Amino acid sequence: MNRLLDCLLSAVCLVVGLIPMAIIAMLISLGDGGPVFFSQTRIGRHSRPFRLLKFRTMKRGSEADFTASPRDDARVTPLGRWLRRHRLDELPQLLNVLRGDMSLIGPRPEVPRYYSPAFARLSHVRPGLVDSATLRWLDEERLLRTVDDPESFYRDVILPDKLARSHADIEARSFTHDLGLLLGAARSVLRRRGEQTRFEQSRPYRGTWSFPWIARRYFRSSLSGFTPRRAANLALAVTEMALARPLVRSRPFVLRIEPSNACTLRCPNCACGTHTDPREKGLLAMEDLRYALEQTAGSVVAVRLDGMGEPTMHPQIFEMIRLIKSHGMSVSMSTSLDPPSCDRIDAFIDSGLDRLVVSMDGATQAVYEQYRVGGRLENVQRRVTRLARRKRVRRARNPLIEVQFLDLDHNRHEIGDTRRLAREWGADKFTVTGADPTIKAAQFPKNPKRCLWLWCVVTLAWNLDYRSCTNAWSLPWPALNMRDTPLDAYWNHPHLREARVFNKDKSSAYITNAKGCKCNRCYEMLVAPMEGDYFCE
């Protein structure tokens, strides 16, 4: 945002907030007679230091030796905790904006002790009150309370992520981008939670997924699969999941089925790409798909037609999509768009596919191929561009084209460039996904996070073997097949009921000792710590 707009908006905010700020100043002064403001040296534009202002939140005479002190720090006053909780201690930084030290939108200024050459690319812009890293780590202080060494965790986990997101913001900067950050900041402060790092009031980090996030991502592409009966079943399933009922009356409303477990790529975090999947290679038979659809027709709203392998390698993949659509269900599919079969651009439209998720983990070939080993970024570009063009020519609404970026250490700096390319190529949506780095330092409570897969999703391998979840394709549990155990028998099978009991409070001895079961070593639901990075088994 330009300097004139910064001055105008900060002045308006100061005028509007004059009385509340005066009341806060009076309360701080009456508390212990100490100074109202706290100032700290931060590094600003062109690597020049300046004094950043905040309302004082610590006891008189206390000095913060760590830029992000845990929220239960004994030096923080009761009023200070309230101010920090509502982010009101940051209000005096509007004076920094008015003075020219900062902007409303920009990377957060860092203290000298953490300033490094990596910040050089940020030094040409004014630091700001808000950026995407601010929204991502809005609950930073509460998270730091859950780790043994807050300063090391800040330096080794949080700070690199903030730096990468700040670089991406600068690359994607525009008026609409800045406006979105301001609105996002207002919404997050009012809700008192971060963009992705969700917390409960008295508990640590609780996992990486949330039902609202799922709904926002899939709702539009799933509309075609809704009927009154299916909607009622969905509501019942979500309710039973919230109540953690082991024995359920509802049925799954999502079907995840694997067309093939073969792939042209060699992704290092995938059991298929690393050739560690012990299963034989195979293709989903049309008769098996037809049987699965008959079993799930009354309840399933959406079908995910992908699994461990590349779905477009199946020679009948588009016929399968048409078969699913004939049962009134919506269809989503995830692909690398690398196999030659993806050149059948019009088939994506003609089949009735509702949503196409395209894996694209870099904006340059050098970065892209570090994870999508053997893939060509130019194939993705050509096919996404052609599909978007054909949709416009044919005035087709579907499939919705979603470019998905798997956030890893080696490619995080290209998030902004990848987002820009996806927009230029005509994609409808851009999503960043991956294992949250905070999960490595999370505390593991008695009650894991509720698992969507156990109450709402039935997952089938290419040979109709049931799988406990989408991240456990190569694990044999529960060793049941839909042909031998129809869905109604499986959905309340003793194995699945025990898994739900375990997900509630870890009280199932059977699941605790079950070999080949993902539930007793699931990091997503905070059952066990994550070892290494995200890995699809």
Residue 148: count of CB within 10 angstroms of its CB: 8
pLDDT at 207 over 50: no
Reported confidence tier of residue 282, pLDDT bands at 50, 70, 90: very high
> Residue 298 has which token pair?
């009354």
Q: What angle do CA 214, 217, 221 make, to 5 degrees?
A: 115
pLDDT tens for 50-78 read 999 999 988 877 655 555 555 456 788 88
Instruction: Grade residue 168 by pLDDT with cuts at 50, 70 and 90.
Output: confident
Q: Report the SS3 class of residue 46.
A: helix
Most confident of 16-25, 221-230, 281-290: 281-290
Q: Which amino acid is at 500?
A: R
Statement: residue 261 has pLDDT above 80: yes
Which ranges in 138-174 belong to alpha helices (H)?
A: 140-144, 150-153, 159-171
User: Which one has a higher pLDDT value, 23 or 144?
Assistant: 23
Confidence (pLDDT) at 73: 65
Per-residue pLDDT of 431-481, as tens digits, reads: 888 755 555 555 555 667 788 899 999 999 999 999 988 778 888 889 999
What are the distances in angstroms from CA 87 to CA 181, 190, 193, 485?
Answer: 16, 10, 11, 54
pTM: 0.68
Distance separating alpha carbons of residues 191 and 205, to the nearest angstrom: 17
In this structure, are residues 233 and 253 in contact, taking their beta carbons and an 8 Å threshold?
Answer: yes
Structure tokens at 305: 């037609």
Biggest alpha carbon–alpha carbon distance for the chain: 79
Query: CA–CA distance from 411 to each of 201, 251, 374 (Å)?
Result: 33, 39, 17
pLDDT digit string (tens) for 497-521?
Answer: 999 999 888 889 999 998 888 888 8
| 125-134, 390-399, 526-535: range with lowest mean pLDDT | 526-535
Give 229-256 pLDDT, tens digit per residue. Answer: 999 999 999 999 989 999 999 999 999 9
For tokens 């470019």, the residue is 403
Alpha-carbon torsion, ordered 16, 20, 26, 30, to 10 deg: -170
Task: Check whether 358 has a pLDDT greater than 90.
Answer: yes
Give first-to-last CA distance, the chain, whole Å.
45
pLDDT tier, 534 (very low <50, low <70, confident <90, very high otherwise):
low
The arithmetic mean of pLDDT across residues 105-114, rounded, is 87
**Average pLDDT for the chain:** 84
| The token pair that represents 226 in the structure block | 């809704």
**Mean pLDDT calculated for residue range 298-322:** 95
Among 239, 354, 352, residue whose Cα is nearest residue 304:
354
Listed residue (396, 394, 395, 381) closest to 426, CA to CA: 381
Most confident of 150-159, 181-190, 398-407, 513-522: 398-407
Domains of the chain by start residue, with CATH: 3-191 (no CATH), 215-332+435-537 (3.20.20)
